């Protein structure tokens, strides 16, 4: 029988570990990891006209309008062989985007990372990230071997512009209001995996792997 290919999305509040777990999952299944946040930050850093527009939303802790987000994601998906599988991190983020994605490709796993707001804030306040490869670290929970330096590529570690207390609060509000309705959307589709995101990183990953295996996905 042909191997079941993973076509997963990761959703959860800011700081829930979408990037951390999404990368682990993509590595394990040998599929691409696509993060809309990363795509947007690269565009903003390139100072393109589109980047300038994106910046307004990202630095306000708001969602980028659906039309623009859907276009960026569809463009990225077109360049991939979707039959081989993928992990989408941070997309979709509302029911409208989910409906759009459903027209492009059918998702077979929606990983919901559950983390309380207070823990999300604690994590984001301590997060640092590589300027070159975007590898994520946490000052105390997953520190780099050498302070300030990426263990993977040697790049500088910096804080993200949107990891200020005020913007973290706004991003959390946006999540509860706009993204949480995806829980019932994907439950109805029968692909929802709810994960306790408050465990240590390897245990969160273990829970994801156990639950995906139950659905017949073998890495």
* Binding window for ligand AP5 (CB under 6 A); candidates: 32-40, 100-108, 151-159, 187-195: 32-40
202-212 burial: b if 16+ Cβ within 10 Å, else e: eebbebbbeeb
Q: x/- site string to Zn ion, residues 84 to 123, per CB under 5 A?
A: ----------------------------------------
Cis bond before residue 84 (omega within 30° of 0): no
The distance of closest approach from Cβ of residue 155 to Zn ion in the complex, given in angstroms and rounded to an integer, is 4
Q: x/- site string to Zn ion, residues 155 to 174, per CB under 5 A?
A: x-------------------
User: Phi-psi region for residue 90, left (φ > 0), alpha (ψ -120 to 50) or beta?
Assistant: left
Residue 50, both tokens? 């589109």
Selected from 31, 127, 130, 191, the binder of ligand AP5 by CB under 6 A is 127
Residue 20 contact partner, candidates Zn ion, ligand AP5, Mg ion, none, CB within 5 to 8 A by sort of partner: ligand AP5
Q: With beta carbons less than 8 A apart as the criterion, state whether 185 and 198 touch.
A: no
Q: Classify residue 13 by burial, with Cβ atoms within 10 Å: 0-12, 13-18, 19+.
A: buried
Phi (first) and psi of residue 215, to 5 degrees: -85, 5
Q: Does residue number 58 form part of the binding site for ligand AP5 (CB under 6 A)?
A: yes
| Close Cβ partners of 51 (under 8 Å, ≥ 6 residues apart) | 43, 44, 45
Residues recognised as catalytic: 18, 93, 127, 160, 171
Binding interface with ligand AP5 (CB under 6 A):
12, 14-20, 35-37, 40, 57-58, 61-64, 69, 90-93, 97, 123-124, 126-127, 136-138, 141-142, 171, 200-201, 204
Binding interface with Zn ion (CB under 5 A):
130, 132-133, 135, 150, 152-153, 155
């Amino acid at each position: 029988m042909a191997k079941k290919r993973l076509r997963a999305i990761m959703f959860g509040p800011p700081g829930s570990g979408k990037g951390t777990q999404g990368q682990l999952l993509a590595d394990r299944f040998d599929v691409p990891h696509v993060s809309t946040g990363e795509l947007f930050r690269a565009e903003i850093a390139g100072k393109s006209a589109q980047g300038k527009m994106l910046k307004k939303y990202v630095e306000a802790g708001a969602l980028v309008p659906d039309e623009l987000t859907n276009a960026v994601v569809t463009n990225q998906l077109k360049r991939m062989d979707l039959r081989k599988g993928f992990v989408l991190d941070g997309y979709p983020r509302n029911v409208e985007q989910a409906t759009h994605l459903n027209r492009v490709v059918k998702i077979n796993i929606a990983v919901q990372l559950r983390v309380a707001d207070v823990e999300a804030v604690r994590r984001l306040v301590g997060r640092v990230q590589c300027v070159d490869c975007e590898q994520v670290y946490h000052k105390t929970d997953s520190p780099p071997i050498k302070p300030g330096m990426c263990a993977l590529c040697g790049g500088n570690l910096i804080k993200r512009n949107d990891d200020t207390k005020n913007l973290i609060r706004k991003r959390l509000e946006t999540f509860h209001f706009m993204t949480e309705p995806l829980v019932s959307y994907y439950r109805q589709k029968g692909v929802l995996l709810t994960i306790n995101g408050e465990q240590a990183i390897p245990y969160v990953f273990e829970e994801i792997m156990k639950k995906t295996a139950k659905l017949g996905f073998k890495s």
